[in-house]
Amino acid sequence: MRHVLTLYSRKGCCLCEGLEQRLQSLDLMAVQPPLILEVVDIDAPEVDPGLKARYDLEVPVLALNNTPLPRVSPRLVGEGLFSWLQRVCASASGSV
C-alpha cells in the first residue's frame, strides 16, 4: 500500500524548491510505507482558500495522507533525509 507524501509549497520559495529537489532525489518507494510525492503550490488558483490560509506562512510543509508531519531541517540531505522520512512516516502511520 502506497501513501501520499504531500509537499505544500510555493514557487519562488528557496526552502520549498530545495526540499522538493531533495525529496525527488530519494527513492521514496523504498520508504516504509512506500511514498508517492505530490507537490501542491498553495498559490495556485484551484487550491482551497482554507488550505492556503493554513499553510501560507508555514511552507514548506510535508503531510502524510493529509496529516502534517514535523518540520524537516533544511540541512537534512540524502541518507539523513531518507532516515528522517522513514522514522516520521512509520510513526505517523502507526507502524512503530
- Strand ranges (E), 1-96: 3-9, 35-41, 61-64, 67-68
Confidence of residue 94 (pLDDT cuts 50, 70, 90): low
Residue boundaries of the structural domains of the chain: 3-92
CATH architecture assignment, domain 3-92: 3-Layer(aba) Sandwich (3.40)
pLDDT digits (tens, 9 = 90+) for 19-76: 999 999 999 999 888 999 999 999 999 999 999 999 999 999 999 998 999 999 988 9
Q: How high is the pLDDT of residue 96?
A: 40
pLDDT at 86 over 50: yes
Q: How far apart are CA 57 and CA 11, in angstroms?
A: 14
85 pLDDT above the threshold of 70: yes
pLDDT interval class at 6 (50, 70, 90): very high
Which pLDDT does position 90 carry in this prediction? 81
Minimal CA–CA distance to 58: which of 48, 72, 44, 45? Answer: 72
